[in-house]
Amino acid sequence: MRLNVVSDVHHSVAGLAEAGADCDVFICLGDLVLFLDYDDPQHGIFADIFGEGNTRRYIELRRRLQFDEARRFGRELWEAIGADPWTEISQKVEQQYADLFAVMPPGLLTYGNVDVPALWQQFLRPGHRVLDGDVATVAGLRIGFLGGGLQTPMRTPFEIPDEEYAAKVEALGEVDVVCSHIPPAVGDSVFDVVAQRLERGSRRLREYIEDVQPRYVLHGHVHQPLADRVTIGRTQVLNVGHFRARRRPFVLDID
Ligand SMILES: [Mn+2]
């Protein structure tokens, strides 16, 4: 059985329709929205609203981990245009979802941390099945899904408390494949060599892998990882890559 998997789409429409070709199952691990791209300050919702110069400054503050200053700067920008942030942002998120779901292949989908689950429903088309904390069985293969991320100072839109994430992990039971937006907490998987920072992986997911030993764990979230594959016992943990940069799916053949 062939799985074509994408993650971290970040409003990249190019190549998305084709990503579902020549496979038995298409899977998307979320992060559909492009809010802020550290490597591309001209694009994304923040740049659309405030322009490239302000975006560069905002990114610089966050790169230096000055999150309070970045938030203050953001507040000043919003006050200057006199708009309600959520109204503005949600309209732009909806536009990005409309663009993406129009070409999203039918398949199994879960949320990233840069997603707004409440806004997905209206854009789903027939054949789009959303799973988060539950299992799909395809040709006898049990595939468990874990959406979203854990809480960080970045305060991206779909971050959940550790206990809530752990409950979703526990709800999976035994599966053959785990599809999770974030990786397990393993040093080489969570370190981004370009951003030079550790992303948050899940310790509970790591424990689950040690106990249950699924054949594969497929994840995204870390755009430029130190290692895109690690093994934990018999389990292969594979980073499927940053679709916005790759423009093609990760292909996994399972016998
Ligand atoms: Mn991402």
The string of DSSP letters for 97-140 reads: HHHHHTTPPSEEE---SS--GGGTGGG--TTEEE-SSEEEEETT
Report the pLDDT value the prediction gives residue 178, as an integer from 0 to 100: 98
- What separation in Å is there between the alpha carbon of 147 and the centre of ligand 1? 12
- List of the chain residues with pLDDT < 70: none
Which of these, 109, 116, 105, 117, lies nearest to 134 by C-alpha position? 109
- What separation in Å is there between the alpha carbon of 223 and the centre of ligand 1? 7
User: What's the domain count of the chain?
Assistant: 1
- What separation in Å is there between the alpha carbon of 151 and the centre of ligand 1? 14
Report the pLDDT value the prediction gives residue 5, as an integer from 0 to 100: 98
**Residue 182, CA atoms < 13 Å, CB-side half-sphere:** 30
Q: Is residue 69 part of a domain?
A: no
Q: Is residue 170 part of a domain?
A: yes
* pLDDT tens per residue, range 60-71: 999 898 999 999
Domain that residue 190 falls in: 2-32+105-253
For position 140, which CATH number holds? 3.60.21.10
Q: Is residue 14 part of a domain?
A: yes
Alpha helical stretches, state H, the chain: 45-63, 67-81, 85-101, 162-171, 187-190, 203-212, 243-246
- What separation in Å is there between the alpha carbon of 252 and the centre of ligand 1? 21
d(CA 97, CA 14): 14
* pLDDT tens per residue, range 115-138: 999 999 999 999 999 999 999 999
Report the pLDDT value the prediction gives residue 87, as an integer from 0 to 100: 94
Report the pLDDT value the prediction gives residue 108, as an integer from 0 to 100: 98
Q: Is residue 244 part of a domain?
A: yes
CB distance 254 to 177 below 8 Å: yes
Q: Is residue 56 part of a domain?
A: no
- What separation in Å is there between the alpha carbon of 34 and the centre of ligand 1? 8
CB distance 61 to 69 below 8 Å: yes
d(CA 133, CA 102): 25
CB distance 179 to 110 below 8 Å: yes
Report the pLDDT value the prediction gives residue 214, as an integer from 0 to 100: 98
- What separation in Å is there between the alpha carbon of 222 and the centre of ligand 1? 7
DSSP 89: H
d(CA 165, CA 202): 8
CB distance 138 to 145 below 8 Å: no
Q: Is residue 142 part of a domain?
A: yes
Q: Is residue 50 part of a domain?
A: no
pTM, to two decimals = 0.95
User: Where is 6: in which H helix or E strand?
Assistant: strand 2-6
- What separation in Å is there between the alpha carbon of 140 and the centre of ligand 1? 30
Q: Is residue 68 part of a domain?
A: no
Report the pLDDT value the prediction gives residue 194, as an integer from 0 to 100: 86
d(CA 67, CA 254): 43
